[in-house]
Amino acid sequence: MTLCIYALATPVAGSLRRRGLEHEPLQIVTVGRVSAVVGELPRRPSATHDVLARYDAVVGRLAERYTALLPARFATCVDRDELMFILRSRQQALRRALRHVRGRAQMTVRLVSDTTDVAPDSPSPAGKGIDYLRRRAAEAAVPAFEPLRVAVKKWVRDERVEKRRGIATVYHLIPRGATEAYRRAMIARAGQVDLRAIVSGPFPPYAFTE
């Protein structure tokens, strides 16, 4: 048997009457002011579409219960002693991360563009380190997203940007109560500037767990 970690959260009062991936009862392991929500599984879960969807559903239900929640990466399985050690040794960093996401949700915006703004990653020629860093910073920038960013700026508490395979993905951490307003503003602005933007969410803050 192994402990599958679903999420870390700030402890709340009351018992947890929820089930995990394989309908196992979820347990709470608390060290200091950080709780881990775990389920005991016979083996590490395999990454099939069905299992991933169920995992996401479990984490989504946990996010309804906990206002501050850090989803664990899929199939993070440890034994109880190791979990206690990790929670104890990383207590400060985890509490800081939990404060950051408290009462917030993740929205994901993907830009699909034929312009060079969303160019695929390509190997860079060798050169000076500072040139390399500047080039990486320029590659990470998405100028086409600027008008959209302005439209939702008042809700955005944090942002992550990724560019892969010609698709730019922008993750925004926003207040949970503002998700619909954010979506409307984003879609309206994208229509005005004739940009293909796919907005999805709200999600638990998967992209803001560092």
Partner 1 sequence: MSPRPAPPPSESERILGDSGASLLDLVDNVLNKGVVLTGDVTIGLAQVDLIYLRLSLLLCAADRVLPPESTNVPTPRRSRRANRTLSSQIREATAVYRAESSHVRNAPPSLPPRRARSRKRG
- Contact, 137 vs 161, CB < 8 A? no
Report if residue 200 touches partner 1, rule: CB under 8 A. Answer: yes
CA distance 77 to 55: 13
Select the span of 23-31, 120-128, 135-143, 146-154 touching partner 1 (CB under 8 A). 135-143
Number of Cβ atoms within 10 Å of the Cβ of 69: 25
The single-letter code of the amino acid at 17 is R
Closest alpha carbon to 36 in 65, 61, 71: 71
Q: Distance between the two ends of the chain, CA-based, in angstroms?
A: 28
> Looking at 140, 146, 147, 150, which residue binds partner 1 (CB under 8 A)?
140
- Contact, 102 vs 11, CB < 8 A? no
Stated length of the chain: 210
Report if residue 168 touches partner 1, rule: CB under 8 A. Answer: no
Report if residue 128 touches partner 1, rule: CB under 8 A. Answer: no
Residue (147 or 166) nearer to partner 1, CB? 166
Residue (15 or 113) nearer to partner 1, CB? 113
Report if residue 109 touches partner 1, rule: CB under 8 A. Answer: no
Report if residue 70 touches partner 1, rule: CB under 8 A. Answer: yes
Report if residue 138 touches partner 1, rule: CB under 8 A. Answer: no
CA distance 15 to 131: 54
Binding site for partner 1 (CB under 8 A): 5, 8, 47, 49, 52-53, 55-56, 59, 70-74, 76, 78, 83, 86, 94, 97, 108, 110, 112, 132-133, 136-137, 140, 166-167, 169, 191, 194, 196, 198-201, 203-204, 206-207, 209-210
